[in-house]
Amino acid sequence: MRRYAAAAVLFLTLSSPMWAQWSSDPSKNLPLADNNNGSDQVQPKVVRFGAYGGYVSWFDANPQSPPPVGYSVYYQSLTEYGYERYRHGGVEVANLSNSSTEDYGLDVDHQGNALLAFLDTREGDNQQVTAAKMSPYGQPLWGTLGVQLTNDSASHAAPKIAATTDGGIVVAWTSDTNVVAQKLNAQGQPQWGSGVVFSQAGYDFLLADLHAADNGSVVISWVRNKGFGSNNILFANKISSSATLLWGGNNVQLFTNGSLQFGNFPYFVPDGNGGAVFAWYTNGPTLQCYAQHLLADGTAAFPAGGSPVSANGTNVRVSPSAGYRASTNEVFVFWTEEDSNQILNGVYGQKFNSTGAPQWGADGIAFVNLGADQQEFVTTVQASDGAFVFWVDSVGFGDSTIQGMRVTDWGAVACSQTVSSTPSNKARLVATAAGGSAALFWQDDRIGNNGIYAQDMLSNCKLGL
């Protein structure tokens, strides 16, 4: 954060009551939302854990909340030491009646305000897209209803939000068969007329991800198909501060050979210099993971169609997670490796140089060999020396733990640790890194219903402070 934003958050840290802190015991992870009353608290997201902490958000369907009961939006601010700045259980952003959840957006602006975008039922039966701006003190800066981006009969889905470098905010979403992006100023007023619309006759466009880039621009990605059973192809473009398509009217197609798994909408990682790093997996002609780095001008740094993470033709692989090191232009990718029958699972990794050449051998490195446990939700974030990688290890239903390690530049395991040892169902693992350590968040049913839990891991893989 900028200096004045950090000062505001530091004041909040000193003036507010706080609960808990990072745990040193993997069986007693930090609970952020743990209502044991039949609630379902799911789908955490996290942004920015620098010197002063960051924000975590989730959905909470609390049957004891005022009607209408549904998946409402909550958020919490944490210090770098794991202290909750708001009351335990978080601050409600929107009391919704949604009976199920979809993907949503979380970011933080340069003043330290949390930004959220979600599907909203408060304006009528048809879900509309709403953006909310919440202060570091837990106050709704755009009013209790936020800013409603849509007001129509279209089907809306999976909104995302990004704070731009020029002080604006861009929100994007799926609207019927189109992807729409709209820029707001700091007061929440639309800046791009009816928005920037991505569409193509005969095709469905479905938003995948959105992040800020350079000079007030954003990079946006989406999946294109012709309906169920057709190929799902990943596209991207870059929208300038004034709504110009910087990567051309035809957009950038990430690959041409194969198709994404139906229902897979890959996230990407900004490279900090106006470009973005993508990782995805195809389901045809085989299950294979790829990576690509699009530079600030939209050109591909890696070979056309992306670099495959492994040349092993016997096994298959799914669900990659990518990290990027700007100082060396290197990309780290970790994924779930499976045998050809998709029965045995492992965790593998690969590092690419700036041109997409593999650095850890043609097949990558096995960090967890193929075995009977399911290895899921593989997640990576950068470390000063290599990368952190985390995953859910599932022996069976109700018997999962979270494991983690730090991997060096040359692919050696520097250290490893059980991050969460309490056996339960665990899912939706997300992570962020800052200052040489990492913070993880996930949904966990150890109390009988899903709650949101958190844990840090230091560079030596120790837990706690």
Q: What pLDDT, on a 0 to 100 scale, did the predictor assign at position 51? A: 72
Looking at the predicted structure, is the pLDDT value of residue 15 above 80?
A: no
Name the token pair of 365: 């490195």
**Is 18 or 452 the better-scoring residue by pLDDT?**
452
Kindly state the average pLDDT of the residues 166-173. 98
Instruction: State residue 8's pLDDT score.
Output: 40
Alpha carbon of residue 288 to chain centroid: 21
- H, E, C per residue of 248-301: CCCCEECCCCCEECCCCCCCEEECCCCCEEEEEEEEECCCEEEEEEECCCCCEC
At residue 367, does pLDDT exceed 80?
Answer: yes
Residue 443 pLDDT > 70: yes
Mean pLDDT along residues 427-447: 94
pLDDT for 397 beyond 70: yes
C-beta separation of 300 from 292 below 8 A: yes
Q: Is the sign of the CA dihedral 159, 160, 163, 168 positive or negative? A: negative
- Integer Cα distance of 402 and 434 in angstroms: 20
Q: What per-residue confidence (pLDDT) applies to 66?
A: 78
Closest CA to 286 of 322, 259, 326: 259
251: region left, alpha or beta (phi > 0 left; psi from -120 to 50 alpha): left
Can you tell me the distance from the alpha carbon of 207 to that of 175, in angstroms, rounded to the nearest whole number?
Answer: 9
Which two structure tokens, joined as six digits, stand for 131?
């953006």
Ordered alpha helix ranges (H), 371-464? none
Q: What does the pLDDT read at residue 123? A: 84
> Please, are residues 37 and 69 in contact by the beta-carbon 8 Å criterion?
no
Write the DSSP assignment of 189-212 as a string of letters. -B-STT-EEE--TT-EEEEEEEEE
Q: What is the mean pLDDT of residues 73-95?
A: 95
Using pLDDT thresholds of 50, 70 and 90, give the confidence band for residue 407. very high
The string of pLDDT tens digits covering residues 124-163 is 889 999 999 999 999 999 999 999 999 999 999 999 999 9
C-alpha to C-alpha distance for 293 and 279, rounded to whole angstroms: 9
Closest CA to 289 of 349, 340, 201, 339: 349
Asked if 293 and 236 touch (Cβ cutoff 8 Å), the reply is no
For the chain, percent of residues with pLDDT exceeding 90? 87
Quick: pLDDT tens for 173-213. Answer: 999 999 999 999 999 999 999 999 999 999 999 999 999 99
Q: Is the pLDDT of residue 334 over 90?
A: yes
Query: Residue range 317-342: average pLDDT?
Result: 97
HSE, side-chain direction, 13 A CA sphere, residue 384 = 7
pLDDT of residue 1: 32
The pTM assigned to this predicted structure is 0.94
User: What are the structural domains, with CATH classification, of the chain?
Assistant: 93-457 (2.130.10.150)
**421's tokens:** 């040892």
pLDDT at 63: 87
pLDDT band at residue 19 using 50, 70 and 90 as cut-offs? low
Q: DSSP code of 245?
A: B
**What are 402's two structure tokens?**
């979270």
Under the banding of pLDDT at 50, 70 and 90, the label for residue 69 is confident
Above 70 in pLDDT, residue 269?
yes
Tell me how far apart the alpha carbons of residues 85 and 434 are, in angstroms, rounded to a whole number: 19
**Residue 11 pLDDT > 90, yes or no?**
no
Whether 437 shows a pLDDT value over 50: the answer reads: yes
Residue length, the chain? 465
CA distances from 22 to 6, 79, 115, 462 (A): 21, 10, 25, 11
Burial 358-385 (b: 16+ CB within 10 A, else e): bebeebbbebbebeebbbbbbbbbbbee
Mean pLDDT of 78-101: 94
Q: pLDDT band at 2, cuts 50/70/90?
A: very low
Per-residue pLDDT tens digits for 22-43:
999 999 999 999 998 888 999 9
- Spatial separation of the C-alpha atoms in residues 121 and 96, rounded to whole Å: 6
Mean pLDDT of the chain: 93
Between CA 107 and CA 276 the distance in angstroms is 17
